[in-house]
């Protein structure tokens, strides 16, 4: 029996299998509002047979957008637009849906990737960026504005309000984005956090604001709604954030009711040296899972069904997330089930697509035609 296709629960939320569709920015929103692109994008991924679908990094305030085209959940208009998309998707798919709530910090105000992805200067339509300290991401960039106490409270409250909006429109799971060099990761790493108050310096201090955001979000939604987090397990830079600090962060999160930890890496510094290769981030997820006991999601160059199966079967992670691979092959879970001798959920409109010899791929279905 395939372990990848065994059920799993995040808190009290049951998942049909261990395949997660990772949040992937689409840079296709208008003033933070979801558009028809999101309906198309999320609609076809919702029919993939995965166990959980995560909506892309969603800004909790306008200044927290990576680009002007980022999805947002800071306003009633944002809420209404996303609810419209979710209502349409849910009409045809029962897949549980998560949302990643994010603030880009000093990596905000950027061009979309296909326009270069570089910082947009204020005089060209960008906006001043925010960070724990006035330390820019790139040496040629202007310094961000270091958040004062009022700013910290405003950002924390923005996460709370976005979480409440997410719950109101029927999102099943919240993932807080503390990875890839964005604001909460910037607080965690000594490379970007040079504060001298209680939010900087020691590991305990650097974790203080991200933990406060987690606690506030956890308290703002019902207990039965799982709240997890995505982290970069390491900066891949000497003297930066690393897996040992990630383990300590994981212990603190578990004490606060964290439902899962989604382990990525890098993104904080242009000096990073990432050893790219299959499963290159898996040891980070494995160590965090082993030492904290938190359910973990592994991600990063996991492309083959047998590879994902082995990760779960050997207990190296509880779930496997797909990102670019599932954009390239939106039916990856179907193909994985076919290879691994498992069954996968599919809409009845597609049941007749089963290849000859795989008549049980979609379960004990009945197909008739006059």
Active site positions, annotated: 182
Radius of gyration of the chain from its Cα atoms, rounded to whole angstroms: 20
**Quick one: which of 7, 2, 14, 89 has its CA closest to 48?**
89
* Pairing of β 8-10 and β 13-15: antiparallel
**Closest C-alpha among 190, 143, 182 to residue 267:** 182
CA distance 147 to 212: 15
Strand pairing category for 130-131 and 145-146: parallel
CA-to-CA dists, residue 53 to 73, 156, 285, angstroms: 18, 25, 20
| Alpha-carbon dihedral angle through residues 206, 212, 218, 220, given to the nearest 10 degrees | -150
Give the residue from 189, 199, 209 showing the smallest Cα distance to 137: 189
State the CB neighbour count (10 A cutoff) for residue 242.
Answer: 18
Instruction: Give me the helix-helix angle, 203-220 and 243-255, nearest 10°.
Output: 40
Place of tokens 């991401």: 137
Place of tokens 């998560």: 98
Separation between Cα atoms, residue 329 and residue 168, nearest integer Å: 32
Cα angle, residue 47 at apex, residues 347 and 16 outer, rounded to 5°:
85
């Amino acid at each position: 029996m395939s372990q990848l296709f065994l059920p799993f629960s995040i808190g009290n939320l049951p998942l049909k299998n261990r395949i997660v569709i990772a949040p992937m920015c689409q840079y296709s929103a208008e003033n933070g509002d979801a558009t028809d692109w999101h309906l198309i994008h999320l609609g076809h991924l919702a029919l993939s047979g995965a166990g959980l679908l995560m909506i892309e990094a969603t800004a909790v305030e306008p200044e927290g957008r990576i680009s002007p085209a980022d999805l947002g959940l800071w306003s009633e208009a944002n809420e209404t637009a996303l609810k419209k998309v979710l209502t349409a998707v849910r009409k045809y798919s029962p897949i549980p849906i998560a949302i990643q709530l994010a603030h880009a910090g000093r990596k905000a105000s950027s061009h979309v990737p296909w326009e270069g992805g570089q910082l947009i200067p204020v005089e060209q339509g960008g906006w001043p960026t925010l960070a724990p300290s006035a330390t820019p991401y790139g040496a040629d960039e202007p310094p961000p504005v270091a958040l004062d106490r009022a700013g910290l409270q405003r950002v924390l409250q923005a996460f709370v309000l976005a979480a409440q909006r997410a719950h109101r429109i029927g999102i099943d799971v919240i993932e807080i984005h503390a990875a890839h060099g964005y604001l909460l990761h910037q607080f965690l790493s000594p490379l970007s956090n040079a504060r001298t108050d209680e939010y900087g310096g020691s590991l305990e201090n650097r974790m203080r604001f991200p933990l406060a955001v987690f606690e506030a979000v956890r308290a703002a939604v019902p207990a039965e709604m799982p709240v997890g987090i995505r982290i970069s397990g390491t900066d891949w830079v000497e003297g930066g954030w690393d897996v040992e600090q990630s383990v300590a962060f994981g212990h603190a999160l578990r004490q606060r009711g964290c439902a899962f930890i989604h382990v990525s890496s890098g993104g904080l510094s242009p000096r990073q040296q990432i050893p790219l290769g299959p499963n290159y981030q898996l040891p980070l997820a494995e160590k965090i899972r082993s030492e904290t006991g938190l359910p973990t999601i592994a991600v990063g160059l996991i492309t083959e069904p047998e590879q994902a199966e082995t990760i779960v079967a050997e207990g190296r992670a509880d779930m496997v997330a797909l990102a670019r691979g599932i954009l390239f092959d939106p039916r990856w879970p179907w193909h994985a089930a076919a290879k691994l001798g498992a069954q996968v959920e599919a809409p009845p409109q597609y049941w007749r697509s089963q290849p000859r010899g795989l008549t049980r791929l979609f379960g004990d279905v009945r197909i008739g035609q006059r």
